[in-house]
Chains A and B, each alone.
Chain A
Amino acid sequence: MAKNQDIIKSTDLMSDLRYQITNQIEGKSLLACIQCGVCSSGCTVSQYIDLQPHRVVACLLLGLKDKVLNSNAIWYCSLCHRCTERCPKSVDFSFILALVRNMAVKEGYIPPEYEVSINAVLQHGFTVPYSGDMKKTIDRNRAKFGLPEIIPPKLDELIFIVKETGLEKTLEDAKKKKKRG
């Protein structure tokens, strides 16, 4: 066998993985892939990710769920849509990745950076802290352009929305299952 890598048995493949994506309207285009590699060469974050877009698709089609969900590619995607724009078969990779992210969170694959960001929003209403020296710098810069200070969002409303949409529960479930981070 060519490469010194883990061996996967066909019986361990999740043979309906491709259909889990395609049964959602945004994922329909997955099946069209013919593995030409155009998406990967158009990808803006290709140098940072451990699984290039064409390989993510190949893994999804073959049923290698863990390999995809463990990849940083699904979180690093900048949603620039260059893959979609270039794909000769109109595979909408950006949307497919969104579905894969949902799948990942449900399965408990959630990178710590995401948790930190979400917590920051729930605590302060911002992903970037707006207090102390940071607040001073931001306010000074805004003042240069004649902009007012930022009005912080109403935290109780935000938390209400998070609860109603089920994000809170999803996050809690994910923490319980936690598989990474």
Chain B
Amino acid sequence: MKNSNILVIGAGISGISASLDLAEQGYRVILVEKDSTIGGRMAQLDKTFPTLDCSICILAPKMVEVARHPNIKLFTYSEVYEVSGSMGNFTVKILKKARYVNEEKCTGCGDCATICPVRGLPNKFDEGLKYNHAAYISFPSAVPSVYLIDKEKCLYLNYGICALCAKNCGAEAIDFTQKDEVLEYNVASIIVATGFDLIDPSILARYHYGEYKNVITGMKFERLLCASGPTVGELIRPSDGKHVKNIAFIACVGSRNVNICAYCSKFCCMYMVKEAVVAKEHAPEISPTIFFNDTRTIGKNQEEFIERAKDEYGVKYNRGIPGDIREDPLTQDLIVKYANLDTGEVEEKIFDMVILSNAVIPRRDAGHLAKILGIEQNDFGFFKTENSLEDLKSTIPGIYITGSCQSPDDIPNSVAKASGASSLAAQHAVQIPEEEIVIELPPLKYVSPFDEPRIGVFVCNCGVNIAGYMDNEEIVEYLKTLPNVVFAMNNKYSCSEQTQQIIKDKIIEENLNRVIVAACTPRTHESLFQNTLREVGLNPYLFNFVSIRELDSWVHMKDKPKATDKAKDLIRMGIARARNLKPEFKIKGDVIPEALVIGGGIAGMSAALEIAKSGFKVHLVEKMDKLGGQLNLIYKINFDRIDSMEFISKFIKGIKEQKNINTYLSSNIVNVKGSIGDFSIKIEDLEKNTSKIRVGAIIVATGASEYKPTDWYNYGKDPRVFTQLELSEKLRNNELTDGETLVFIHCVGSRQETGRSYCSLICCSESIRHALYVKENYPNSNIFVLYRDIRVGTEEEQYYWKAREDINYLRFSEYPELDFNDDKITVRVHDMLTQINLHIKADKVVLSTPLIPDEKNKQLAELLKVPLDKNGFFFEAHIKLRPFDFATDGIFLCGTAHGPKGIADSISQGRATASHALIPLIAGVVENEPIISNVNPALCIGCNRCAEVCSFGAIGVPMDSSKMISEVNPLLCKGCGDCAAECPADAIKMSHFSNEQVEPMIVEAVRGDFVDERPRIVAFLCNWCSYAGADMCGVSRFQYPTNVRPIRVMCSGRIPKSFILQAFLEGADGVFIGGCHIGDCHYIAGNHDALRRVNEIKNVIAKLGIDPERFRLEWISASEGKIFAEVMNEFINEVKELGPLSPEVKA
């Protein structure tokens, strides 16, 4: 019997991605996390490279999704301790450790921690820089939002005294009788995603970590940078709290070290430069220096990021790793002695703080887990795979590994590997049978737009978290006086089971057709109440959430009357919106159960194979006359020298055996129409024969090819000069002569100041591979390798070391010059290592050139309506978390079409695209949230400005229609509302955030009929960053005056100029707009449009006689709670000084 369960161990970004993929494909995921929260390392990071996205802003929505997903069973604070059985049928035992807090009852309010007398316990999440109580939560936005009690430190559990938390917990969630539980599951397959640990840098005594207070690790620095971290983003040093100015980053602390970690930790070079840049953004007077040996970029756009860090941010790079740090005992400043390899001399400099990039190591318990699972570890302790082409399959069938537990990896690679692993793990399982998932729901009650709104309001006390800082009784009495409010009451905890039942009962008793809950925040609790409504037959979109905790009680703790009045205003605003809420329905479309894969290289074939194995038809289109792509040109693959011909023919055989794959050779795509679920495709072969197919999903795997450097070094004219790939061919045919002098030149045409600026990532290891091969097979050859930085993968470091033993490595900063006048080629180069000018008499010169994108990409991009990046590679939806998706749903991207990468990565990415493409194929339908744009054809003037601002190709005037009226594809629309704000004819309505719903809120925000509190400020906050930042501000209890009335919109791009004008005309003294930082927008570019509109409206405001100071736009991220409070304080004070907006202006 086939099983629907799949076990995922570890809930960092890898485990989260794998779980969501599998759950969406209809499998039941058992997700086990050792920690008390999910999120892993990524949750600890402040920003991510190279785009400087706020890490928690992009991760948190995924964490919440995991917790909510009906197909995911989440066990936190739990460990897998026994596994038996085999592929298809494993039995796993899970130990669920006692939290001493009932997970169902805990509301996450934190009253237990506040009262707990045991304090000063170093918080692991903040790397020990912040302290916990014995009752604690890992960090404010932890998922699940459930506290736990430290068994070792709790007074009650150890001495039977105290138990204050139990007395203080209004939800009665503290349960000291809780015991560890054992759970048993049968699973079809297992994904291991346990991540990594970091080495204790005190192992290198010379850096005095642990002894000198101002020597810290990169991870600690990450927490110092974070606005929600221990210093709320102030860069102050541990010894004396002084703001830092000169800071040093030291690379390779324990890694690339034969005695400690004999491999490269891979991502440290990039996080060092990221931290340096972010530090610089915090305080421009900071001067960071990075000490390194080779800078190693590992992915797309990273080389450019390093160059930007040097040029724009002034980050200093010193080649040469320091051997000594001494501390000035009086000032605690650090004296760093280092060699400068560019000059060959030794120098000394004083720094305020030194940040160590300590080596990434396998989890300390990796050996233990390996034993439980029966899988093997490699020489370094990471989980082992079959060979260098396989990143996902462990040594036991049915167990897959992903993320940094296999080899240190950055976020995009981890995400791709996670999805790749899920497509493999899914092969052993069957989807959850339909009868198990159907939930009986009553039919929906019909609510007509003409029905009088009957509104019920439930005001949450949240124990004392809300009711302690405002008068909830008074609020309820006030609400009862408002029109359309037929019922209002207080609840101790609105999220409790008990209150859910009360809400359901009242909906029926009072015949409610709108429901409002005034409580914590919609970002965590909206869907809970929406489900409650649905369970009694009320459309979930007739629910409105009002935040009176994060946005009120927690930020105005010292002014009860004003906080109470603000709550009345906020709820009245909610009621105003609720009156105009309409029932909305999910949008559905059918899916053609077939897929198209464009490109028959290794990535495309991997994708096709996984989709076909799942039982769906695949059309594999290849422009050449054979499959295999670039692999056909390579002689031996990787350092284990896998024969490429053998490997590729095995792969092609697999493709041919699959009845589900239709291969089209020598063919191209000439026409594409439609959208996710139903694309119509026209394929044309060389004889111009066309085939027409319809598919539900498209995968782009068109690859890349080696650059032929015709404007470098007489290439193409002199046969003695050739590329690495051409050398590969010569090696295959045994064409070299022994005893010759060969010069390898790296970075020919890549990493250029003008033109190709990117690093091609794979050429260094190719060069090392070839050098070793030549030396072995032509032992009397003399090889000189001229390089800039050596960039190799984690385990490949060893081969680099081997190559250096017998091969001359010379480092240049200025490109060598070649002289062809002789019978030999003279290569003139200045070697930085020895500081000499060398003239090499060479017989052959081999050039390492980058992979370049296919010229036909442009054509294909236009057909698919997907973007290319500035280098001509395809441009993914999000560089970190969606590296193999396009922003357009239903189209995916893998292999070198996305950017240069190795073969193993291409295979993993191919499988990853299969995993995402299978989601709609398996479901058979595509669903979209009803928060989408609607065009009123009577008003549309066909200007197509909506299409210009849409990042998803979801709206626009169809080219082949004579009507010139814009149309929305409801399946593609993401609901940002940018088009609605842009439309000059007011023809676009954004459902659930329509003008009719938002405008009454503006009116009520300004009205305020009890206290004449001035100034009155209306704040529009985007859901994903600024509203989340305001939430973080609340959770952290940063106080600001009560004058602000926030209005939540999905994106700052949703805010039309009319909202801003209306707010002023209604009488607001100030208007505030908060959005995501540029580059962070959840909808790609909505904030750019917001910025443009703000700039345009500023003149209008001035002309109306309104001081532009009354209007402000700020980018605030989800972690910048402190900044939110600061900005609010500052802005309110500024507007206060300007005084109330004069009545004549209002008229």
* A interface with B by C-beta (< 8 Å): 1-3, 5-11, 13, 15, 31-43, 46-47, 51-52, 54-55, 58-59, 61-62, 64, 67, 82-83, 86, 88-90
Residue on B nearest A1 in the bound complex, by CB: B837
Say whether, besides A37-B339, A43-B346, A54-B339, A10 and B741 are in contact (CB < 8 Å): yes
Task: Output the least CB separation between A110 and chain B (Å).
Answer: 24
| The 8 residue pairs across chains A and B that have the minimum distance between CB atoms | A42-B323, A37-B320, A37-B339, A41-B323, A40-B339, A88-B257, A58-B833, A31-B805
Residue on A nearest B255 in the bound complex, by CB: A88
Q: Are the CB atoms of A64 and B841 closer together than 8 Å? A: no
Q: Are the CB atoms of A8 and B323 closer together than 8 Å? A: no
Residue on B nearest A30 in the bound complex, by CB: B805
Q: Are the CB atoms of A38 and B834 closer together than 8 Å? A: no
Name the residue among B320, B323, B324, B813 with the largest chain A CB count within 10 angstroms: B323
Assess whether B258 is interfacial by the CB under 8 Å rule: yes
Please, how many angstroms separate the alpha-carbon atoms of A58 and B835 in the complex? 9
Assess whether B659 is interfacial by the CB under 8 Å rule: no
Q: Are the CB atoms of A36 and B252 closer together than 8 Å? A: yes
Q: Are the CB atoms of B840 and A52 closer together than 8 Å? A: no
Name the residue among A39, A41, A54, A89 with the largest chain B CB count within 10 angstroms: A41
What residues of chain A lie closer than 8 Å to B830, measured between beta carbons? 1-3
What residues of chain A lie closer than 8 Å to B835, measured between beta carbons? 3, 5, 55
Q: Are the CB atoms of A6 and B257 closer together than 8 Å? A: no
- Our pick among B256, B340, B806, B837 for the contact of A8 (Cβ within 8 Å) is B837
Assess whether B784 is interfacial by the CB under 8 Å rule: yes
Q: Are the CB atoms of B338 and A37 closer together than 8 Å? A: yes
Q: Are the CB atoms of B321 and A55 closer together than 8 Å? A: no
Please, how many angstroms separate the alpha-carbon atoms of A112 and B464 in the complex? 87
Say whether, besides A35-B293, A42-B323, A55 and B833 are in contact (CB < 8 Å): yes
Say whether, besides A38-B322, A67-B834, A62 and B839 are in contact (CB < 8 Å): no
Residue on A nearest B802 in the bound complex, by CB: A31
- Interface bits B766-796 vs A (CB < 8 Å: 1, else 0): 0000000000000000101000000000000
Please, how many angstroms separate the alpha-carbon atoms of A9 and B828 in the complex? 9
Task: Output the least CB separation between A2 and chain B (Å).
Answer: 4
Residue on B nearest A4 in the bound complex, by CB: B837
* Number of interface residues, chain B, beta carbon within 8 A: 50
Say whether, besides A10-B841, A52-B345, A88-B252, A37 and B784 are in contact (CB < 8 Å): no
Q: Are the CB atoms of B256 and A88 closer together than 8 Å? A: yes
Would you list 28 pairs from A and B whose C-beta atoms are within 8 A, ordered by A residue?
Answer: A1-B830, A2-B837, A3-B835, A5-B835, A8-B839, A10-B782, A10-B841, A15-B782, A31-B804, A36-B293, A36-B321, A37-B320, A37-B321, A38-B322, A42-B323, A52-B345, A54-B341, A55-B833, A58-B833, A59-B834, A61-B804, A62-B831, A64-B834, A64-B836, A67-B834, A86-B206, A90-B258, A90-B259
Say whether, besides A38-B321, A41-B324, A32 and B837 are in contact (CB < 8 Å): no
Task: Output the least CB separation between B829 and chain A (Å).
Answer: 8
- Our pick among B256, B346, B813, B828 for the contact of A34 (Cβ within 8 Å) is B256
A-B pair count, CB < 8 Å, reads 144
Please, how many angstroms separate the alpha-carbon atoms of A51 and B257 in the complex? 24
Of residues 840 to 891 in B, which have CB atoms within 8 Å of A's CB atoms? Answer: 840-842
Please, how many angstroms separate the alpha-carbon atoms of A2 and B256 in the complex? 30
Task: Output the least CB separation between B758 and chain A (Å).
Answer: 25
Residue on A nearest B839 in the bound complex, by CB: A9
Chain B: interface secondary structure? strand
What residues of chain B lie closer than 8 Å to A90, measured between beta carbons? 258-259
Q: Are the CB atoms of B321 and A52 closer together than 8 Å? A: no
Q: Are the CB atoms of B805 and A39 closer together than 8 Å? A: no
Q: Are the CB atoms of B320 and A36 closer together than 8 Å? A: yes
What residues of chain B lie closer than 8 Å to A89, measured between beta carbons? 257-258, 801
Residue on A nearest B805 in the bound complex, by CB: A31
Q: Are the CB atoms of A55 and B834 closer together than 8 Å? A: yes
Assess whether B923 is interfacial by the CB under 8 Å rule: no
Beyond contacts A37-B320, A37-B321: 4 other A-B pairs, Cβ-Cβ < 8 A, are A38-B322, A42-B324, A54-B341, A58-B834
Residue on B nearest A86 in the bound complex, by CB: B323
What residues of chain B lie closer than 8 Å to A40, measured between beta carbons? 320, 323, 339, 346
Q: Are the CB atoms of B323 and A39 closer together than 8 Å? A: yes
Residue on B nearest A63 in the bound complex, by CB: B808
Assess whether B118 is interfacial by the CB under 8 Å rule: no
Q: Are the CB atoms of A62 and B834 closer together than 8 Å? A: yes
Q: Are the CB atoms of B837 and A6 closer together than 8 Å? A: yes
Please, how many angstroms separate the alpha-carbon atoms of A86 and B257 in the complex? 10
Assess whether B379 is interfacial by the CB under 8 Å rule: no
Residue on B nearest A64 in the bound complex, by CB: B834
Task: Output the least CB separation between A178 and chain B (Å).
Answer: 25
Of residues 805 to 838 in B, which have CB atoms within 8 Å of A's CB atoms? Answer: 805-806, 808-811, 813-814, 817, 828, 830-831, 833-838
Assess whether B337 is interfacial by the CB under 8 Å rule: yes
What residues of chain B lie closer than 8 Å to A47, measured between beta carbons? 346
Task: Output the least CB separation between B843 and chain A (Å).
Answer: 11
Q: Are the CB atoms of B841 and A41 closer together than 8 Å? A: no
Q: Are the CB atoms of A2 and B813 closer together than 8 Å? A: yes
Assess whether B319 is interfacial by the CB under 8 Å rule: yes
Q: Are the CB atoms of A7 and B808 closer together than 8 Å? A: no
Please, how many angstroms separate the alpha-carbon atoms of A143 and B481 in the complex? 107
Task: Output the least CB separation between B592 and chain A (Å).
Answer: 54
- Interface bits B505-521 vs A (CB < 8 Å: 1, else 0): 00000000000000000
Please, how many angstroms separate the alpha-carbon atoms of A64 and B833 in the complex? 12
Q: Are the CB atoms of B838 and A8 closer together than 8 Å? A: yes
Assess whether B561 is interfacial by the CB under 8 Å rule: no
Assess whether B61 is interfacial by the CB under 8 Å rule: no
Task: Output the least CB separation between A161 and chain B (Å).
Answer: 38
Q: Are the CB atoms of B293 and A7 closer together than 8 Å? A: no
Please, how many angstroms separate the alpha-carbon atoms of A64 and B810 in the complex? 13
Please, how many angstroms separate the alpha-carbon atoms of A47 and B324 in the complex? 15
Q: Are the CB atoms of A37 and B841 closer together than 8 Å? A: no
Q: Are the CB atoms of A7 and B341 closer together than 8 Å? A: no
Name the residue among B345, B813, B838 with the largest chain A CB count within 10 angstroms: B838
Please, how many angstroms separate the alpha-carbon atoms of A34 and B841 in the complex? 25
Please, how many angstroms separate the alpha-carbon atoms of A109 and B321 in the complex? 32
Please, how many angstroms separate the alpha-carbon atoms of A68 and B581 in the complex? 83
Residue on B nearest A83 in the bound complex, by CB: B323
Assess whether B344 is interfacial by the CB under 8 Å rule: yes
Name the residue among A43, A59, A67, A88 with the largest chain B CB count within 10 angstroms: A88
Please, how many angstroms separate the alpha-carbon atoms of A130 and B118 in the complex? 71
Please, how many angstroms separate the alpha-carbon atoms of A49 and B765 in the complex? 36
Residue on A nearest B811 in the bound complex, by CB: A35
Residue on A nearest B325 in the bound complex, by CB: A41
Task: Output the least CB separation between B361 and chain A (Å).
Answer: 15
What residues of chain B lie closer than 8 Å to A41, measured between beta carbons? 320-324, 337-339, 346
Task: Output the least CB separation between B629 and chain A (Å).
Answer: 34
Please, how many angstroms separate the alpha-carbon atoms of A13 and B804 in the complex? 17
Task: Output the least CB separation between B930 and chain A (Å).
Answer: 58
What residues of chain A lie closer than 8 Å to B836, measured between beta carbons? 5-6, 8, 64, 67
- Our pick among A2, A33, A52, A59 for the contact of B804 (Cβ within 8 Å) is A33
Q: Are the CB atoms of B839 and A7 closer together than 8 Å? A: yes
Of residues 298 to 329 in B, which have CB atoms within 8 Å of A's CB atoms? Answer: 319-324
Of residues 437 to 492 in B, which have CB atoms within 8 Å of A's CB atoms? Answer: none
Please, how many angstroms separate the alpha-carbon atoms of A41 and B340 in the complex? 9
What residues of chain B lie closer than 8 Å to A39, measured between beta carbons? 323, 339
Q: Are the CB atoms of A34 and B837 closer together than 8 Å? A: no
Name the residue among A5, A11, A32, A35 with the largest chain B CB count within 10 angstroms: A35
Residue on B nearest A31 in the bound complex, by CB: B805
Name the residue among B257, B260, B810 with the largest chain A CB count within 10 angstroms: B257
Of residues 320 to 360 in B, which have CB atoms within 8 Å of A's CB atoms? Answer: 320-324, 337-341, 344-346
Name the residue among B321, B834, B842 with the largest chain A CB count within 10 angstroms: B834
Task: Output the least CB separation between B3 and chain A (Å).
Answer: 48
Please, how many angstroms separate the alpha-carbon atoms of A151 and B516 in the complex? 103
Task: Output the least CB separation between B796 and chain A (Å).
Answer: 13
Task: Output the least CB separation between A45 and chain B (Å).
Answer: 10
Task: Output the least CB separation between B779 and chain A (Å).
Answer: 13
Please, how many angstroms separate the alpha-carbon atoms of A91 and B801 in the complex? 12
Residue on B nearest A22 in the bound complex, by CB: B805
